[in-house]
Amino acid sequence: MRVVAMILAGGAGTRLTVLSEHRAKPAVPFAGRYRIIDFTLSNCVNSGIYDVGVLTQYRPHSLIEHIGIGRPWDLDRTRGGVHILQPYQGRKGKLWYSGTADAVYQNLDFIERSRANTVLVLSGDHIYKMDYRPFLALHREKGADLTVAVMHVPVEETHRFGILTVNRQGRVTEFHEKPKDRDKGTLANMGIYAFRADVLAERLTELAAQYEDLDFGKHVIPAMIERGDKVYAFTFDGYWVDVGTIAAYWGTSMALLDPDAPLGLYDREWVIHTRSYERPAAKYGPQARVRQSMVCNGCVIRGEVERSVLSPGVYVSPGAVVRESVVMNDTWIGPGAVLDRVIVDKNVVVGSGALLGWGEEFDVPNELEPDKLNTGITVVGKGAHIPANVRVGRNVLIRPDVNEEAFAAFGDTVPAGATVQGEEQ
């Protein structure tokens, strides 16, 4: 079996608000020194798959820079290796990918050049560790045209997924994309597919003539079941999460800090590779207190850090407190500042005495994006400057690159659910 992996990494990830405003969702930092896509790339190489295409589209610059020639993942190879596949003027004059399956359809020539007989289609924006070899072994054993990785989810969450029904042999008999009814079962589509390469090319070519927004869940899987193709399910019982919302991103980050965390980042048998930059070891001042936290190289801690994730280069001043927060690269936190349930993007300056995540109004949603910020988490965009002594409530959104003048309209208190933005935003 010759396998080529196609990683879908072009999503905008709008539910992550400002975290994905200047970068594709798979390029969002996670767990201190990683990017989200590192998990899928590492799964590939740990499973012995070294022929990988990464399909990019939305704001790809950060992602492309991170992947480079693929050296951290041993994908800098003359044969195979990693290839960045961006949209181009191609079939029927199309330029942008308009659906998950359309992205693969527009790169069928890459699959053909790989001479693979099996195509592994993966999402680049999920956090999980999975050995694809048992999955591919089942695909081969069944002689399947398509094998879908599935996992059991709670009944109350089935509306968020594509739900499959299978017979005793594991063959898929029904597929319902995000069903409203809760009686369709609990086997959820994980967005991990193994296709026979020739069948994939045939079906995508047929369906592309019917659907401009060609999608695997909405179009390809139902069509293959309907026409009698051999579609099977592989049940995965490991840890898997879509960190596509602020609540999920924060919750998954906090789960990493538990002693019995389901996602081990230090497993020598299954290393999560990433591009690393040389930084000195973290430094701790005489007043530093760190409890149940992840502190990366290059950090300087002179205050208190409790149940938080700090990326490289974060500076915590004396008297500052960082609690249940995620703070990204090279952010400066001034003396006496307090962060409580806050996600802070890169290169942010938090003024002395500022209180972020202040107050008890957890249930006041953000006024502009109530469906995205409603669990008490405040989010600060890249490069923002927070003035000294300001109080910022829960579910507040601070847009990237705002300066201290943007806070003037609020006085000394930004209320829960507010949005701070500059004049041009």
Digit-coded pLDDT (tens) for 108-164: 999 999 999 999 999 999 999 999 999 999 999 999 999 999 999 999 999 999 999
Sign of CA pseudo-dihedral 416, 421, 423, 425: negative
- The string of pLDDT tens digits covering residues 166-205 is 999 999 999 999 998 888 899 999 999 999 999 999 999 9
In the prediction, which pLDDT does 94 show?
A: 56
In the prediction, which pLDDT does 183 show?
A: 84
- The string of pLDDT tens digits covering residues 232-258 is 999 999 999 999 999 999 999 999 999
* Terminal alpha carbon distance of the chain: 52
CATH class of 3-244: alpha beta
Structural tokens at position 289 = 């207190």
What percent of the chain stands above pLDDT 70? 98
In the prediction, which pLDDT does 63 show?
A: 94
Q: 246 versus 88: which is more confidently predicted?
A: 246
Instruction: Pick the closest to residue 118 from 136, 138, 100 (CA basis).
Output: 136
In the prediction, which pLDDT does 184 show?
A: 86
Fold of 283-420: UDP N-Acetylglucosamine Acyltransferase; domain 1 (2.160.10)
Cα(348)–Cα(188) distance, integer angstroms:
38
- The string of pLDDT tens digits covering residues 298-330 is 999 999 999 999 999 999 999 999 999 999 999
In the prediction, which pLDDT does 88 show?
A: 63
Q: Give 293's DSSP letter.
A: -
Q: Give 77's DSSP letter.
A: -
- The string of pLDDT tens digits covering residues 330-369 is 999 999 999 999 999 999 999 999 999 999 999 999 999 9
In the prediction, which pLDDT does 87 show?
A: 82
The residue extents of the domains of the chain are 3-244, 283-420
In the prediction, which pLDDT does 95 show?
A: 65
Q: 58 versus 3: which is more confidently predicted?
A: 3
Least confident of 87-91, 95-99, 231-235: 87-91
- The string of pLDDT tens digits covering residues 277-290 is 889 999 999 999 99
> Quick check: do 3-244 and 283-420 share a fold?
no
pTM: 0.94
The answer to whether the CB of 255 falls within 8 A of the CB of 263 is yes
Cα(4)–Cα(201) distance, integer angstroms:
14
In the prediction, which pLDDT does 29 show?
A: 96
Model confidence at 385: pLDDT above 90: yes
Instruction: Pick the closest to residue 400 from 350, 355, 345, 358 (CA basis).
Output: 345
Model confidence at 395: pLDDT above 60: yes
Read off the pLDDT band of 72 (50, 70, 90). Answer: very high
Beta pairing, strands 378-380 & 187-196: unpaired
Model confidence at 12: pLDDT above 90: no
Least confident of 10-24, 63-77, 144-158: 10-24
**Mean pLDDT, residues 41-57:** 97
